[in-house]
A and B are shown apart, each in its own frame.
Chain A
Amino acid sequence: MIIEFLLIFPLIGSILLLIFKSRNIARPLLFLYSISYFLTSIYLCYCIHSNIKIGGLLKIYFAVDPLNIVFLLILSIVFLAVSIYNDGYVKVSDMKKSKLSYYSIGILLFIFSMTGTILSTNMALSWVFIEATTLTSAYLVYFERTKQSIEAAWKYVFICSIGISLGFVGIILLTIATADINSLFFSELYNHSAYINKTWLNLAFVFFLIGIGTKVGLAPVHSYLPETLSVSPAPISALLSAVLHNAAFLLIIRFFHITVLAGNSGYGRTLMIAMGVMSLFVTAVYIFTVKNYKRMLAYSSIENMGIIALGIALGGTAIIAAMIHLVFHSLIKTSFFLTAGNIFKIFKTKRTNEVHSIIKRDKLTGWLWIACFIGIAGIPPSPLFVSEFLMVKEMISSRHFLLMAVFLILLTIIIFGMAKRIIYMSCGKDIPNTHNHDDFEGYADKEEHKPVLLSPLMYVPQIILLLISALAGLYMPGILSKLLEQASLLI
C-alpha cells in the first residue's frame, strides 16, 4: 500500500483543501506530504536495495525498479526543499486564503501526476500522466495572472499538448512494431524486444522523442520553456525544471531501452546526440541575448537536458555520468531557481540589468547565487564537473573527437555567458532600482527602497542542497554510486 499512499494522499489533500480553503490546513498539509513523501521514497529505496517485494492494490500499474527509484528520490528531495522554501515564500508573498488553497492544490496535483509518470509500469499510462503534468501545472504557471503569465500558460499548454500528442503517435506506432505482443507494459516490451519490427520502432522513436522531448525541453522543441520557467513563481519554476523534465526524460529513457534491447539503438542514438548538441548550441546563442535572469536559468536547463541526452546516447560510462548529471543538476537547479525567487523578492524585477550587487543588499542570497552558478557551471567541487569529465572521457575513448570539441567549446561559451551576468548581478555598485512596477499588481511594493525581510526558510533549502552536492562532488558515497550503477543497467 506504500505506493498507493503516495498517489492517494495528494488527491485526498486536494479535496480537503477545496472544501475547507484554510491557510491553517494548506501549509501543514504540503509540508506533511513532502516529509512523508521523502521518508516513503527512502523506504522504497531500501526495499529495492535489499530486494524486498512491495505489494499493493495497483502494483500492476505502479511499481518501483532500480531506474525509477532514482527519479523518485530526486522528486522527494526537491519537493521537500521546495515545500520548506514555499512556507517562507507564501509568508513573504502574503497570499490570500483562497489563492493559497488553489496554489497548494495545484502543487499537490502536480506532484501526483509526476509521481504517476515516474512509477507507472505501462507506456500508455505514463503518457496519460505526463499529459496530466501539463494540465495540473497550467494553473501554477498562470498563477501570477499577469499578461506575461497568460501568454506563458497558453504557450505551455498548447505546445506541450501538441508535443505530447505526437508522443502518443509514437506509442501507437510502437504497437504496430510490437505486432503480436499485445501489451504496452515495459516489462513485456523488454522481454519480447527481439520480436519488435525495427523499421516501425525507428519511426515510433522519432515521434516519441520529438513529442516527449518537448516536455523535456530539448532543442529544437523547447520554445515554450524559457517563457514558462521565467513567469512561474520561484518554487514552481524549481519543480518544473528540476523534476518535471526528469520525469519526461524517464519516458524517453524507457523507450530508448527498448531500442537498445531490440539491437536497434543506432538511429535513436544519432537523434539524441543531434538534439543534445542542438540544445547546447541554442543555449550558447541565446545566453548572450537574454535580459531576464530566470530565462537565463531556463536556457541553462535546456543545456543540461541536452548534456544528459548526449550522455545517454553515447553509452558506456557516459550513462553513469548522465545519471550523476541528472541527479545533481536537479538539486543545484532547484537551489538556483529558489535563490532567483529571493532576488525577485528583494529587487522586484527579473531584468538582469536592474539587479546589482546582490551581495550588498542581501549577503546570503548573493553568495548563494554565486555558489549555485559554481555548481551548475561544473566547477569543482560540483558533481557536474565529475559527470562532464566522465562524458568527455567517454567521447575520447569512443573516438568522437569532433563531438568532444563542439561539446567543450559550447560549454565554455555558455559558462562565459552565464558568468558574465552572474558576476554583474552579484557584485558591482549598488544602483537604486528604477523599475516601473505597474505590471506586477499584487506584488509591487509601492515604497521603492523598503528592504524586504526574507524568511530564514528561504535560505535553508538552498544551503542544504548545495552542501549535499558539494559533498557528493568531493566524495561520492558508495550507496549512491551503487544506486546509479544499478539504474544505468536499465538504460
Chain B
Amino acid sequence: MTTRRRFVQQLGALASASAVGALAPTFARAQSAKLRVGLMLPYTGTYAALGTAITQGFNIALEENGGKLGGRDVEFFTVDDESEPAKATDNANRLVQRDKVDVLIGTVHSGVVMAMVKIARDTGTLLVIPNAGANAATRSQCAPNIFRTSFTNWQPAHPMGKVMYERGHRKVVTLTWKYGAGEESVESFKEAFTKQGGAIVKEMYLPFPNVEFQPFITEIASLRPDAVFVFFAGGGAVKFTKDYAAAGLKDKIPLYGSGFLTDGTLEAQGASAQGLLTTLHYGDGIENAKNKQFRYAYGKKYGVQADVYAVQGYDACLLLAGGLAAVKGSFGDKKALYGALEKVKIDSPRGVWTMSKAHNPIQDIYLRRVEGNANQVIGIAWKALDDPANGCKMQA
C-alpha cells in the first residue's frame, strides 16, 4: 500500500519539481545586501492549505515590518516540498547549496522536517520551523541554529491529561493513527493523565491514513470508558467525529482531543463536533489587541479567516525580525545572532511567548469548546507550558 502510494506521489512530485526547476533561473541573483530567505513548504497535496496559510501569515508580519528584516530587503526562494519525505533532502539542499539562503523556513510534515533538521545541523544554516511538531527537532536533534515557532507534538496533548482528570474522568480509551504525530500526542496525554492518577483502559491504533473506524467504535462502546482521547486531523478528524456521533456515543462517552481534531474542519463536521473540548496553543476569540489586529489585516488582505497555521507563519517572521534587528541584520557573528533570536519576546496573536532553551515556544495552551464554526477559547488549560526537551544537549 505504502509503496504504491509513494510511487504515485513521486511521479506527481517529478512533474511539479520540473516546473519549479524551469522557473528558478528567472529569479534574479540577489545583491549581497538582500537577505535570502528559503521557504520550503507544501503548496500542493493534502497540506497545501497549511503551507499557504503559513506563507500568508509570514507576509503580513513582513509588511508590518516595512518589507525588511534587520534593515535588509528580503528575497524569497520557494520550494514546494509536497509533504514528501523522500524528496525532502534534495529540496532542502537545493535551497541551501544552490540558492545559498541565509535562513531556511519550513515545514508542515514531521517526516520532511527531520530531513531539514539534519541539513541544518550539517551545514549550520539557520532553520525556523513554522509547524511540524516532531518532538526530536527540539529534543535529541536540537541545535543552536534550529528554532521552532509552533509546538512539539507533546505540548497541545499534555494539558488534556490534566483537564480530563479534573473533569472527573478516571478510565480512558485512546485512539489514533499509528504514525509520529499520533503516537507522540497519545504518549504525552497518557503521561499527564496517569500522573494525575487516571488509567488508560486500552490504547488503540490504526494505520495512517485509514478511516474505517467502525470496529473501534464498537469496541469503545463495549469497553465503556469514562471518556475517549483521540488524535486525528483533516479528513480523518471529520470522519471520526461523524462516525462517533452517528453511533450515538457522543452524548454517552465524552470525546476529547488535541486541537487538530476540530481545526479547519468544523464546517464539514457540523453537528458532530458541537461542544467538543480540545486543547491547542491558539483558538478563536482570544481577547488581545494583537490578535484582533492580525485577524483584521489577514482577512482584509487574503479574504479568508486566519488560522493557527497563519499565526505560526506570522510568528516565524516576528522571530526573525526581532532577532535580526538586534544584530543589525548581520550573519557575521552567529553566536550573537542565535543569542538574539533566543531572547526575542514574541508578541503573537496567540499571546506573548518566549523561546525555551531548546528553541521551542514556552506558551499557554488554551482549552477550547466548539461553538458553531469556531473553536471558542474558554480558558487556559496550562499556563506557559514548556516542552521537557528530553535529550537536548545544545552545543554552542
Chains A and B form a bound pair: no
Q: Which residues of B contact A (CB under 8 A)?
A: none
